[in-house]
Amino acid sequence: MTVPADAPILTAAAMREAEAACAAAGVSLAELMERAGAAVADIVWRMAAGAPILILCGPGNNGGDGYVAARLLRVRGAEVRVAALGEPKTDLAKAARAAWTGEVEAFDERTAPAPIVVDALFGAGLSRRLSDDLAGLLARFAGRRVVAVDLPSGIESDGGEAWMPPLPAHVTVALGALKPAHLLLPTAPACGRTLLASIGIDAARTMRTLPPPPLPTGDPAAHKYSRGMVLVVAGPMAGAAELAAGAALRAGAGYVVLDGAGRAPLSAVICDDGDALAERAADPRLGAIVVGPGFPAGEGLTRSLDVALGSGKPLVLDAAAIAAGLTALASGERRAILTPHEGEFARSFPATGGSKIDRTLAAARQSRAVVVHKGADTVIAAPDGRVVAAWPGCPWLASAGTGDVLAGACGAMLARGGDAFEAAVAAVGWHIDRAARIGPGLVADDLIGK
Ligand SMILES: NC(=O)C1=CN([C@@H]2O[C@H](COP(=O)(O)OP(=O)(O)OC[C@H]3O[C@@H](n4cnc5c(N)ncnc54)[C@H](O)[C@@H]3O)[C@@H](O)[C@H]2O)[C@@H](O)CC1
Ligand SMILES: [K+]
C-alpha cells in the first residue's frame, strides 16, 4: 500500500470547484474525462500485459471514464469487454458511451470475469451505501487484478463514512487529486496502491500527503544551542520521558535536558533531579518543552504543566497533558504541538465530528495548536487549515513507546524555530522513515539507538 508523496488532497466539494475553475480556464469537462480515461488506460494496459480486460461502467462520470478507457485500450489492441449498470445518465458519460463502438453487456450475475477488472462504477458521486445486490455482484470478482477508477466503488470520497467497498482494488487511479478516503482508515487499505493522475486539475495544496523526508543538511556554523535546546519533563513513568529525550537528540536537537527522576537514555542527555524545572524552563536558549510522556493526570502534572505554560516557550503536549493544557493553549498565541492517539483525542475533543481530517482540523482550530492525530493514518492539522495525511505510515510503529519517541522528535523540530506545523510534519516524517529503516521486530528503544 503506497500513496504518492506530497500530493494534493481534495474533498468532493473542493474537487467540483477545481473542476469548475478548469472549465473557466478553457479546459472542458469532456477534455478532463478524456485525460482521466487515458490515464486509466495507460495503467491498465501495462498491468494487463495482453490479458483480457473487463471494464464495469456506472451511470455517472466515473462510468464515463470507463468508456473512454475502453475505447483507448481497444485502439491499442487490447482485448476489452464493457459491462454497464444501465444507460449513462450524464451528458459527458453519454458522449463517452457513444464513442465506444464495442458491445455493452448488462452487468449482472451472468457477467463473466476477466483477469483484469476495471471498476468504473461509482467514484466521487456515490451518495449512499451500495445495495447488497450490487455488492454481491462486485464481490464475485474478488481475486482478480482490480484497478479502481478514482475510488473503489462503494467508498465515500470524503472519508466521513466507513463504508467498505465489496471489491478492494490492487491499484486505484485517483483523478485530479487524492481524496480523504484514500488516506484514512478503514478505507485506505482497500485502495491498494494509489496512483495520482493529475489530469491538469490545479489542486490547492492546503491538504496534502506527507512529503518525502528532507535530505540531512548540517549547518557548518551551528553550535549545540542553535541546533535547538529541548527540555523533557519526566513524570512517574520515567521510561516514557527517557524515550522522548533520546528521540529529541536523535531527531537533531543540539542539547536535551531530562527533568525529574530519569535515567539518561543516552549519555549526551543532561539529567536533572526535578528541583530546577522553573529555572530550566526560563532559560532563554530553550526552544521547546515536552510534557506528557509517562505523566498521568494529577497534581504533579498540573504543577509541571503550569511551569511549562507559564514559561511562554513553545510546547509539545502528549497524553494526559493534552486535555490538561487545552484551556490555557486556546486562550493564547504560542507555537504548540499536541500529539493525541485516538483515545486521547476523543477525550480531549469529544465534540468533533466527520472524517478524521475534519475532526483533526476542528481540534487544531479549537486548541489553536498543531494537532498530530496519531494512528496508522496519522493526520496533522494546523489552526489555519493546513493538513498533512501520513498514510500508510509504518506498521512496525504500532508498539508501546513509539508515541513518546514522536513527542520527543516534535520537540526537536519545534526547538529549531519556524513554523509549528512544518515542525510536526518533519517529526512525523522522521519517525516513519526511521521506523522503516529498522523494520520488523522494531521496539521503541531502537528508534533512539544508533
Ligand atoms: N472531478 C473531476 O475533475 C473529474 C471527475 N471525473 C469522474 O467523475 C466522477 C464523479 O462523477 P459523478 O459525479 O457523475 O458521480 P459517479 O459517477 O461517482 O456516480 C454518480 C451516479 O451514481 C448514482 N449513485 C450514487 N450512489 C449510488 C449507489 N449507492 N447506488 C447506486 N447508484 C448510486 C447517482 O445517482 C449518479 O447517477 C469521479 O469520481 C471521476 O471518476 C472524471 O471524468 C474527470 C474529471
Ligand atoms: K470506481
Question: Measuring from each residue's beta carbon to the nearest atom of ligand 1, which residues come in under 6 Å?
Answer: 15, 19, 32-33, 36, 58-65, 89-90, 122-128, 130, 149-150, 175-176, 201
Q: pLDDT-derived band of residue 219, with 50, 70 and 90 as boundaries? A: confident
Q: pLDDT-derived band of residue 178, with 50, 70 and 90 as boundaries? A: very high
Whether the complex's predicted ipTM is more than 0.90 is answered with: yes
For residues 149-179, one letter each, b for 16 or more C-beta atoms within 10 angstroms of the residue's C-beta and e for the rest, the string is: bbbbbbbbbbbbbebbbbbbbebbbbbbbbb
Specify the pTM: 0.97
CATH number at residue 105: 3.40.50.10260
Domain count, the chain: 2
Please answer whether residues 179 and 152 qualify as being in contact, where contact means their C-beta atoms are separated by less than 8 angstroms. no
Q: pLDDT-derived band of residue 52, with 50, 70 and 90 as boundaries? A: very high
Please answer whether residues 48 and 115 qualify as being in contact, where contact means their C-beta atoms are separated by less than 8 angstroms. yes
CA dihedral 170, 175, 181, 185 (to 10 degrees): 40
Give the residue among 144, 155, 167, 187 at the shortest CA–CA distance from 44. 144
Establish whether 91 is an annotated binding residue.
no
The mean pLDDT value for 104-109 works out to 98
Clarify whether residues 338 and 386 are in a common domain: yes
Residue with the bigger pLDDT between 351 and 229: it is: 229
Give the residue among 160, 132, 143, 66 at the shortest CA–CA distance from 105. 66
- Tell which atom from ligand 1 comes closest to the C-alpha of 201: 3
Last residue of a domain, one of 188, 203, 218: 203
> How far does residue 63's CA lie from ligand 1's centre (Å)?
7
pLDDT digits (tens, 9 = 90+) for 306-336: 999 999 999 999 999 999 999 999 888 889 9
Residue 304 lies in a domain: yes
Count of other CB atoms within 10 angstroms of residue 441? 8
Residue 5 lies in a domain: no
Clarify whether residues 284 and 378 are in a common domain: yes
> How far does residue 23's CA lie from ligand 2's centre (Å)?
23
Q: Which residue has the cell 476495471?
A: 118
| pLDDT for position 217 | 78
Q: Of the ligands numbered here, which is closest to the C-alpha atom of 34?
A: 1
Checking if the pLDDT of 262 tops 80, the result is no
Sign of CA dihedral 440, 446, 447, 450: negative
> How far does residue 62's CA lie from ligand 2's centre (Å)?
6
- Of 43-57, 262-276, 339-353, 367-381, the one with minimum mean pLDDT is 262-276
Establish whether 355 is an annotated binding residue.
no
Cis peptide before 165 (omega within 30 of 0): no
Where do the DSSP E strands lie in 298-369?
A: 315-317, 336-338
Rounded to whole angstroms, what are the CA distances from 157 to 164, 175, 334? 11, 12, 34
Question: Radius of gyration over alpha carbons of the chain, in Å?
Answer: 25
Clarify whether residues 175 and 290 are in a common domain: no
> How far does residue 40's CA lie from ligand 2's centre (Å)?
11
Clarify whether residues 295 and 425 are in a common domain: yes
| pLDDT for position 214 | 79
> How far does residue 404's CA lie from ligand 1's centre (Å)?
43
Clarify whether residues 24 and 124 are in a common domain: yes
Q: pLDDT-derived band of residue 195, with 50, 70 and 90 as boundaries? A: very high
Clarify whether residues 175 and 323 are in a common domain: no
Mutate to test the pocket of ligand 1, among 33, 62, 90 (most ligand atoms within 8 A of CB): 62
| pLDDT for position 215 | 78
Clarify whether residues 367 and 441 are in a common domain: yes
Residue 219 lies in a domain: no
Coil, helix or strand at residue 212: coil
Please state, for a pLDDT cut of 70, what percent of the chain lies above it.
Answer: 100
| pLDDT for position 67 | 98
Q: pLDDT-derived band of residue 61, with 50, 70 and 90 as boundaries? A: very high
Checking if the pLDDT of 301 tops 90, the result is yes
| pLDDT for position 37 | 98
Clarify whether residues 48 and 170 are in a common domain: yes
Clarify whether residues 144 and 274 are in a common domain: no
Residue 7 lies in a domain: no
Q: Of the ligands numbered here, which is closest to the C-alpha atom of 169?
A: 2
Clarify whether residues 111 and 241 are in a common domain: no
Which conformational region is residue 231 in: left (phi greater than 0), alpha (psi within -120 to 50 degrees), or beta?
A: beta
Checking if the pLDDT of 165 tops 80, the result is yes
Q: pLDDT-derived band of residue 248, with 50, 70 and 90 as boundaries? A: very high
Last residue of a domain, one of 203, 238, 260: 203
| pLDDT for position 238 | 92
Burial class (CB in 10 A: 0-12, 13-18, 19+), 350: exposed
Which residue has the least CA distance to atom 19 on ligand 1? 125
Residue 265 lies in a domain: yes
Q: Of the ligands numbered here, which is closest to the C-alpha atom of 123?
A: 1
Domain span at residue 413 reads: 229-447
Checking if the pLDDT of 274 tops 90, the result is no
Residue 222 lies in a domain: no
Rounded (10°) angle between helices 402-415 and 420-438: 140
| pLDDT for position 331 | 87
CATH number at residue 268: 3.40.1190.20
> How far does residue 163's CA lie from ligand 2's centre (Å)?
14
Q: How many CA atoms lie within 13 A of 402 on its CB side?
A: 25
* CA angle at 69 for the pair 29 and 119, rounded to the nearest 5°: 100
Distance CA 250, CA 416 (A): 14
> How far does residue 125's CA lie from ligand 1's centre (Å)?
4
Pairing assessment for the beta strands 379-381 and 370-373 based on DSSP bridges: antiparallel
Residue with the bigger pLDDT between 223 and 135: it is: 135
State in Å, rounded, how far the first CA of the chain is from the last one: 28
Which residue has the least CA distance to atom 42 on ligand 1? 33
Sheet holding 229-233, edge to edge: 207-209, 387-389, 379-381, 370-373, 336-338, 315-317, 288-291, 229-233, 255-259, 270-272
The mean pLDDT value for 164-189 works out to 98
Residues 6+ apart with CB under 8 A from 283: 229, 231
| pLDDT for position 50 | 97
Residue 2 lies in a domain: no
Clarify whether residues 161 and 237 are in a common domain: no
Mutate to test the pocket of ligand 1, among 67, 175, 179, 202 (most ligand atoms within 8 A of CB): 175
DSSP secondary structure, 97-131, as one string: HHH--S-EEE-STT----SEEEEES-STT--SPPP
Q: Of the ligands numbered here, which is closest to the C-alpha atom of 154?
A: 1
Clarify whether residues 302 and 381 are in a common domain: yes
Which residue has the least CA distance to atom 26 on ligand 1? 126
Q: pLDDT-derived band of residue 32, with 50, 70 and 90 as boundaries? A: very high
Q: pLDDT-derived band of residue 275, with 50, 70 and 90 as boundaries? A: confident
Q: Which residue has the cell 551551528?
A: 222
DSSP single-letter state for residue 275? T
CA dihedral 361, 367, 372, 373 (to 10 degrees): -70
Residue 108 lies in a domain: yes
pLDDT digits (tens, 9 = 90+) for 393-423: 999 999 999 999 999 999 999 999 999 999 9
